[in-house]
């Protein structure tokens, strides 16, 4: 019991950067050897094309997601609707972004900022030196860096949870990872009614 309380206190203090967010079943944080996280989109010779389905605020939009890796830490990301209209087109750097185009109805500062945050999390390679400790034995490790929690499964990244103000802000799930690339990506926003699903279009991607 004492051990549990110590772990709980440690979690509370250690996770101070994301306030009181408590990762489910985690009781503490341990130091880990440096772990590379999310290296799906680091190859600058590649362009990734996904078929996209977006449900946002009661609207459905189908189209494509295009990710071009400019450099391992710089990505150009575009969301297109059917009929080819560009919804967003943005270059994402580690500390800033450049908006190239946004459809008039969607060009709101807060919305663009949140979309950038989501796609930065999706594409950004990070390194962690801390992992969570769980009460029960956990098959797969969960690494944490800043406000993000990276769940690994069978040596590949399966899920990223981003926390803010004590809650999960959004979650990115990688499904059917083949050849170091997820064939499917699902993004669910926890604060807003906003769900995105992407299915890799290998033929149109440059891999």
Partner 1 sequence: MLLFMLPFLSNAQTRQMTTGEVAAFQQSLKRSAQIKTLSADFVQYKHMSFVKQPITSSGKIYLKQPDRLSWSYTAPFQYKMVFRDHKIFIDDQGKKKTMDIGKSKQFEKISRLVSSSMRGSVYDEKEFSVSYFKKGEVSVLKLLPKSNDTKKYIKEIVLVFSSNDTQVEEVTLVEPSNDYTRFILKNRKVNAQINDSVFNL
CB of 75 to partner 1, least distance (A): 10
CB of 125 to partner 1, least distance (A): 20
CB of 54 to partner 1, least distance (A): 12
CA distances from 3 to 6, 7, 23, 30, 79 (A): 5, 6, 18, 14, 48
Do the Cβ atoms of 161 and 189 come closer than 8 Å? no
How do beta strands 59-71 and 148-153 pair?
unpaired
| Residue placing its CB nearer to partner 1 in the complex, 100 or 167 | 100
Contact positions toward partner 1, by CB under 8 A?
47, 49, 51, 53, 58-62, 64, 66, 68, 76, 78, 80-86, 89, 100-101, 103-105, 201, 203-204, 206
Residue whose C-alpha is closest to residue 29's, from 197, 149, 126, 203: 149
| Residue placing its CB nearer to partner 1 in the complex, 82 or 153 | 82
CB of 105 to partner 1, least distance (A): 6
E strand or H helix at 180, and its extent?
none
| Residue placing its CB nearer to partner 1 in the complex, 42 or 74 | 74
């Amino acid at each position: 019991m004492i051990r549990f309380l110590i772990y709980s206190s440690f979690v509370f203090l250690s996770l101070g950067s994301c306030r009181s967010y408590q990762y489910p079943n985690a009781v503490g944080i341990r130091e880990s050897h440096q772990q590379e996280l999310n290296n799906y989109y680091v190859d600058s010779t590649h362009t990734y094309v996904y078929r996209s389905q977006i449900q946002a605020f009661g609207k459905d939009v189908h189209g494509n997601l295009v990710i071009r890796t400019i450099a391992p830490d710089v990505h150009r990301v575009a969301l297109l609707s059917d009929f080819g209209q560009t919804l967003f087109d943005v270059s994402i750097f580690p500390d800033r972004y450049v908006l190239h185009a946004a459809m008039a109805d969607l060009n709101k500062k807060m919305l663009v900022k949140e979309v950038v945050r989501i796609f930065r999390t999706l594409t950004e390679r990070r390194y962690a030196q801390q992992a969570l400790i769980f009460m029960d034995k956990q098959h797969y490790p969960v690494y944490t860096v800043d406000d993000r929690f990276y769940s690994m499964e069978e040596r590949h990244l399966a899920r990223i949870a981003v926390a803010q103000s004590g809650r999960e802000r959004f979650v990115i799930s990688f499904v059917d990872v083949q050849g170091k690339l997820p064939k499917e990506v699902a993004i669910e926003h926890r604060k807003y009614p906003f769900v995105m699903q992407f299915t890799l279009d290998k033929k149109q991607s440059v891999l």
